[in-house]
Amino acid sequence: MSTPVINLTIPANPVEEILRSERIPHMWCSGCGIGTSVNSFATALLDMKMDLNKLSIVSGIGCTGRVAGYTNLDSFHTTHGRAIPFATGLKLANPDMTVVVYSGDGDLFAIGGNHLIHAARRNMDLKVICVNNLTYAMTGGQTGPATPLDVITATAPYGTYDPAFNLPYLVEAAGAVYVARWTTFHVKQLAKSMAEMFKKKGFGFIEVISPCPTLYQRRNKMGDGLDAMKFYKEVSKIKHGTPTNEVGLTKSGEIIVGKFVDRERPDFITMMRAHLQQRLGDQYIQAEGPVCG
């Protein structure tokens, strides 16, 4: 007779390392894809063995903005639409820091739109992860700049009649050097894309299409989060390199995913330093990171 031995040492969930475990369960709904995107994020960080002391996460307001509060990193939950300028200041003060901006479609493209295009123009070295659930989820599912045509929202009870931004197209036009889109179905590819973006200097942008079951899905009779995930699986086509003007989204049409832009252009800090060095020569004293009495 042998006594059953219970093996109590089980490998930890790899994502746990970057979570503030004491804050979980989190506030996201059942079937929301934001948590899924965080798994890809954790995978990317761990696969790249990033020094987590040299990485900060900055978010705005909204459901996706809450990611900052759940990640065990130097995390900054800022004001609506202004994660990118905060991140700009953080990066300029400490150029060795990898600064990730993790925010939602409304936060980054409506109220934050101006800051987004300027940061892309400057090629500020920021890694922007935009979880696009096609709505302003936190406040109850209102129309956002990414909400497709003819979708029912809290502020468009008869359906939207103005078109959405094509996020990759806009960001490419503004100057981003890395532009990709995945859905929360594409967990592995998303992790890989994030890792690729972290390695690349300059303004990087990944759009992550994600379900909002409680509001977007429900109001438009599209089922729940799982139905959305199955929908993404069914209608997504991986087409790397597709011209971004062709990847706009519709209510129930094809979702083109993949890496669309990966180009080279010096980032803001590199340009600034080179230029000032050239103009000022010996007089130029480069700002060397956190310098505070």
Partner 1 sequence: MHADPVGVLTGAHFMDGDHAACEGAIAAGARFSAGYPITPSTEVVERFSQRAPKIGATFIQMEDELAASITILGAVWGGVKAFTVTSGPGFSLMMEHIGYAVMTETPCVFIDVQRGGPSTGLPTLPAQADMMQVKWGSHGDYEIIALCPNSPQECFDLTIKAFNFSEQYRTPVFVMMDEVVGHMTEKVVIPSADEIEVEPRRWTTKDKSTFQLFAPCGDELVPEMVKAGDGYKVHVTGLTHDERGYPNGTVAVQDRMVRRLVNKIRNNAEKICLTEEHDIEGADVVVISYGITSRIAQRAVESARAKGIKAGSLRLITAWPFPERIIRALAPKVKGLIVPEINLGQMVREVERCAGGHCRVVPIDHAGGTVHNPEQILKAIEEVVR
Partner 2 sequence: MARGSVSIVVERCKACGFCVEFCPAKVLALSSAFNSKGYHPPHAIAPDKCTGCDMCGMYCPDFAIHGYRNDKPAATATATEAAAPATEPQKEAGDAR
Nearest CA-CA partner of 252 in 151, 137, 141: 151
74 binds, among partner 1, partner 2, none (CB under 5 to 8 A by kind): partner 1
Per-residue three-class SS string for the chain: CCCCCCCCCCCCCHHHHHECHHHCCCCCCCCCCHHHHHHHHHHHHHHCCCCHHHEEEEECCCCHHHHHHHECCEEEECCCCCHHHHHHHHHHHCCCCEEEEEEEHHHHHHHCHHHHHHHHHHCCCCEEEEEECCCECCCCCECCCCCCCCCCECCECCCCCCCCCCHHHHHHHHCCCEEEEEECCCHHHHHHHHHHHHHCCCCEEEEEECCCHHHHHHHCCCCCHHHHHHHHHHHEEECCCCCHHHCCCCCCCCEEEEEEEECCCCCHHHHHHHHHHHHHHHHCCCCCCCCCC
Q: Is residue 20 involved in binding partner 1 (CB under 8 A)?
A: yes
Q: Which is nearer to partner 2, 39 or 94 (CB)?
A: 39
79 binds, among partner 2, partner 1, none (CB under 5 to 8 A by kind): partner 1
| Interacting residues toward partner 2 by CB under 8 A | 6-16, 19, 21, 24-26, 28-36, 38-40, 43, 184, 187-188, 191, 224-226, 229-230
CB of 147 to partner 2, least distance (A): 22
CB of 34 to partner 2, least distance (A): 7
CB of 129 to partner 2, least distance (A): 15
Q: List binders of partner 1 among 44-83 (CB under 8 A).
A: 52-54, 56, 58, 68-69, 72-79, 81-82
258 binds, among partner 1, partner 2, none (CB under 5 to 8 A by kind): none
Q: Is residue 283 involved in binding partner 1 (CB under 8 A)?
A: yes
Q: Is residue 26 involved in binding partner 1 (CB under 8 A)?
A: no
Binds partner 1 by CB under 8 A, chosen from 90, 134, 174, 247: 90
Q: Which is nearer to partner 2, 60 or 213 (CB)?
A: 213
Q: Which is nearer to partner 1, 94 or 250 (CB)?
A: 94
Contacts with partner 1, residue ranges (CB under 8 A) = 20, 23, 52-54, 56, 58, 68-69, 72-79, 81-82, 85-94, 96-97, 114-115, 118, 272, 276, 280, 283-293
